[in-house]
Amino acid sequence: MRGGRTRLGLVAGAVITVLAWPGAVRADHGNSVTAFSGPFPHFAPLFIADAKGFFKKHGVNATVRLFDSGGAASAAFRGGRADFLSGCDFPTISLLQVEDAIVLAPIEHDTDSIMISAREGIGALKDLKGKKVGVPLRSTSEFFTFRALKDVGLGPKDVEIVNLGPADMLPAVVRGDIDVASWWQPFGWRAEEASGGKVRTLVTAKGYYTLWCPISARRKYVEEHPKETVAALKALHDAVQWLNQAPLDEKAAAVTEYAKSELKTTRQLMALLTYDMTETAEYRTALKEMEEFMLKAGLIKKAVDWEKVRGSRYLREVNPALVK
């Protein structure tokens, strides 16, 4: 009995020590700018602006919080706890439905990170007919999938759509529960590895559409703090320039460290991405096309008033050449 109590005391002591271990909760600095983002290298300008001190350089006291996904970041943004949000086209337009936000500038675009993988035996898009296609609905991939299908004359009824997140699609496509996975890197690479080559890239978004990832901000914040907004944009622009002149290894290492991701994957992914804050006609058209798709599919109810929503005038103050 006494031996039992001694042992118990030791265990209790160990437990208490563990509990007293300081938590990893970062204290809120009470900063003037908070930005939420997903941890993907698409949003690297945000990370670099923080990590390399560009925010500080322009007098912006920024806190950047990373979330598991763009969706989680959006949900948190709506809770009113951030001023800036980086996301891709689809989540950004969804956000505009419920939040009075301004889309300030694109920070990245690419055509190869969004792609479709398929099991052996499926050689071309038209082979998708009648097959099981995994698509994370309510995402950019939904748009891409139907766009690609339309191109070969197939409609949503011609395939069997299975709604899955990319993490769940991975075992599904490797096992063969689904024949096709419409998703984004690095899942395509992972599936290829895990399946020993049975699952390969069928097609990327190249030729179909370009993924654009803009940075948005709460309208109230922007209108009350125009100077800080421009300063933040300037910092991001510096970051973009840094990214464009840094060698791949260096920038991949910086982003991996910041986002606590995996170096090999980050590096592979960053080789596909273009960082650029120029607001081009192509960018404007791409967002409009996405909006149209979402309206037609009933995913959003109101059309976006692009004149009101675009933050070009702030971008112009960073550098007039950025707005084409």
Partner 1 sequence: MARTSGPAGVTRRHGWLSPAGALVLPLAAWELMSRAVLNPALVPPPSVVAQTAYGMLQNGELFVHIAISLRRIFLGFLLGWASGMVLGAVAARSALVWDALRPLLAVCSAVPPIALIPLVMVWFGIDEPARLFLIVYLAAVLMVPSTMSGVRNIAPIRIRAAESLGARRADIYLRIMLPDAFPFILTGLRITLGFCFMVVVAAEMIGANSGIGYLIMQSRYYAVTTKMFVGILVLGVMGVGFDALFRRLVAVALPRFAVEKRTG
Partner 2 sequence: MATALSPSGSPEAVLAPARAAARRGLPAGPARQAASAAVLVLLWQGLSDWVFTPSVLPSPVTVAARAWDLTLSGALPRHMATTLGRVLVGYVTGAVLGAAFGLVIGCLPRVEGLLNPSLGFVRSIPPIAFVPVSIILFGIGEASKYTIVGYLVFIVLALSAAAGVREVPRIRIRAAQALGAPGPTVLVKVILPSAFPFILNGLRVALNLAFMAVVSAELIGARAGLGHLIMDSQTMLETDKMLVGILCLGILGGVLDRGADLVVRRGLARFTHTAA
- Contacts with partner 1, residue ranges (CB under 8 A): 1, 4-5, 8, 11-12, 15, 18-19, 21, 23-25, 28, 65-69, 72, 75-76, 78-79, 81, 166-167, 170-171, 174-175, 186-187, 190, 193-195, 260-262, 265
Give me the residue label for tokens 């984004």.
184
Distance CA 110, CA 90 (A): 15
281 binds, among partner 1, partner 2, none (CB under 5 to 8 A by kind): none
C-beta of 76 vs 203, nearer to partner 2? 76
Cβ atoms < 10 Å from Cβ of 197: 10
Name residues contacting partner 2, limited to 83-122 (CB under 8 A).
94-95, 97-99
Cis before residue 226, ω within 30 degrees of 0?
A: no
Helix (H) or strand (E) holding 26: none
DSSP at 88: -
Q: Minimum Å distance from CB 288 to partner 1?
A: 29
Q: Minimum Å distance from CB 246 to partner 1?
A: 24
Q: Which amino acid is at 285?
A: T
C-beta of 224 vs 262, nearer to partner 1? 262
C-beta of 76 vs 154, nearer to partner 2? 76
Q: Minimum Å distance from CB 234 to partner 1?
A: 27
Q: Minimum Å distance from CB 164 to partner 2?
A: 5
319 binds, among partner 2, partner 1, none (CB under 5 to 8 A by kind): none
Cis before residue 186, ω within 30 degrees of 0?
A: yes
Burial (CB count <10 Å: 0-12, 13-18, 19+), residue 65: middle
Distance CA 264, CA 271 (A): 11
CA 110 to chain centre: 12
Is residue 154 a contact point for partner 2 (CB under 8 A)?
no
Is residue 172 a contact point for partner 2 (CB under 8 A)?
yes
Per-residue mark of binding to partner 2, 271-300 (x: CB under 8 A): ----------------------------xx
* Contact (Cβ atoms closer than 8 angstroms) between residue 268 and residue 189: yes
Distance from the first to the final alpha carbon of the chain: 81
- Structure tokens belonging to residue 231: 């300063």
295 binds, among partner 2, partner 1, none (CB under 5 to 8 A by kind): none
Which residues, in sequence order, are CB contacts of 61 under 8 Å at separation 6+? 29, 31, 32, 33, 55
C-beta of 53 vs 80, nearer to partner 2? 80
Q: Minimum Å distance from CB 153 to partner 1?
A: 33
Is residue 76 a contact point for partner 2 (CB under 8 A)?
no
Which residues of this protein are in contact with partner 2, per CB under 8 A? 71, 74-75, 78-80, 94-95, 97-99, 134, 137-139, 162-165, 167-168, 171-172, 175, 177-178, 299-300
